[in-house]
Amino acid sequence: MAAFKLKPLFSLTSVSKNFFRTVAACPATDISQLKPWSEVPGPSSLPFIGQMHHFFPKGEFYELIEKPSELFTKMLDRYGTIVKMKGNFGMADGVLLFDPEASAQVLRSENWFPVRPGFESLDYYRKHKKENKGTNGLLTDQGEAWKQFRSTVNPPLLQPKTIRLYSAVLDEVAQDMVTRMKSLRDADNRIQGKFDMEMNVWSLESIGVVALGRRLNCFNRVLPPDSPEMKLIQLVHDIFKMANELDFKPSLWRYYSTRKFRKAMKMYKEQEDTARYFVDKTIEELQKQGGKKSDDEKGVLEKLLEINKDVAVIMASDMLFAGVDTTSNTITATLYLLALNQEKQDKLREELSSQQEKRPYLKACLKESLRMMPVVAGNARTIDKEYNILGYHVPKGTQVSFLHQCMSMMEEYYPRPKEYLPERWIVPKDDPLYHGNAHPFAYMPFGFGVRSCIGRRIAELELESFLARLIQNFKVEWDGPPVNVTSASLNYIVGPFNFIFKDV
């Protein structure tokens, strides 16, 4: 979220206030001077199954499979700042990087078409199964096709004046969700039912306003189970979990059609068809309204429809795919951290009560939660050339994962890293807590460069609108043991959710 000034790409020596370091990574020119790929530290590997035995019952990492922070910390402690992960069942070899300077050098030296791995099963569906082939979207396209699509959708999705059009309606969604939460409380001020699903409902209603150009009416308690709205709620919830099984864990679907693969193909089609259904409804309503809007009055969907309907449908599908679980988990993490730090919550409520136009502490609270409890462990690239990374030869085609989640919790970059301190994002430059003293690549919740998150401004507006309304209406408390976080394609906060929402 923070805007950082990047150091020059051509710098051969990195110098900062906190450290001096020779080049940590760069394209390899003479691999004979490097330690070979075979010597990159990492868990031992066996034929065929690779390193999987370490994650089997009684393996050293088995108990940490669904505890990402502890797993990565143990790997960092055991192997150091670069860790080799052997690929299997069609997955590429990879390395985990815990060094921000090495991460910076790799990311800054990538070409105009950086390859971001992931969601291969969705890519397969769009290239081989979907009816209208040719437009595959930002989540799955690579190379020139990705560049053309990104260039096409950038103007509607990145123009601040377009995003500001949604301020009022997203605030309306936030207020409606607060009303719903009040009605769901029991005598002890706890939310009845599944809290995580409630946050997904809010998130879907919010992103639907942008992606589908309409309120989806997700808060309606009498929606029929087979309604398009309920179908979409369930699909968005299930698809990420299915993609995690197929794309981020060893799976045989790359060799033959497994049962989960066939189920995923069906789910992807249902989601695309449902998105198209809602887009068609919005088109009908726009036609009935008649009249011409100025360009400044047109929302994201209207501008995408002017380009191409298929582009609009695919972009809507991608926003629904990537924009629901991410924001719902982020708001849950922020509420949890504010519940544990009542003085910070009181300070935020005081800022909101002042009715001032700018709300820096609100933004700082969200930034700090993304530092401590990010929704993803980091960023990744499939490198298109050989690299010298920390003195090791890393071959072309390797998947490099940049573990910002661990880096942003290191004392050398963020003083008192385990404390929730939104102040670090707003204090003056001469304060020891000042975030600008950290390496800029230690914290990167929205990615980097041309492949950074295209929905960042939308996500920030959704989160700020909802968090403000929640804190204005509720004193949020936590009554129970520390929250549980499980690792899938995202870091999911799982129950029990011991929140208490008292009226202010």
Amino acid at 256: Y
3-state secondary structure of 27: strand
Q: What are the structure tokens assigned to 82, written together? A: 């670069």
d(CA 210, CA 167): 11
Residues 6+ apart with CB under 8 A from 289: none
Q: Name the phi and psi angles at 195, rounded to 5.
A: -65, -40
Checking 180-186 for CB contacts under 8 A at 24+ apart, the result is: 180/219, 181/474, 181/501, 182/473, 182/501, 182/503, 185/501
- Residue 382's Cβ-count burial label (10 Å; 0-12, 13-18, 19+) is middle
d(CA 314, CA 207): 14
Select from 392, 490, 383 the least CA-distant residue to 93.
383
CB atoms within 10 A of CB 468: 18
The strand pairing partners of 301, in sequence order, are: none
CB atoms within 10 A of CB 9: 10
Give the residue numbers of the binding site for heme. 453
Consecutive H or E run containing 100: helix 100-108
Q: What are the structure tokens assigned to 474, written together? A: 């509720």
Phi-psi region at 18: left, alpha or beta (left = phi > 0; alpha = psi -120 to 50): alpha
d(CA 87, CA 79): 18
Task: Answer positive or negative: Cα dihedral of 296, 299, 304, 305.
Answer: negative
Phi-psi region at 101: left, alpha or beta (left = phi > 0; alpha = psi -120 to 50): alpha
Select from 182, 232, 244 the least CA-distant residue to 203.
232
CB atoms within 10 A of CB 69: 18
Residue in the block written with tokens 């789910």: 267
d(CA 331, CA 365): 11
Select from 415, 426, 438, 239 the least CA-distant residue to 326.
239
**Strand duo 82-85 + 94-97: pairing:** antiparallel
Contact 212, 323 (CB under 8 A): no
Contact 79, 41 (CB under 8 A): yes
3-state SS of 416-477?
A: CCCCCCHHHHCCCCCCCCCHHHCCCCCCCCCCCHHHCCCCHHHHHHHHHHHHHHHHHHEEEE
Give the residue numbers of the binding site. 453
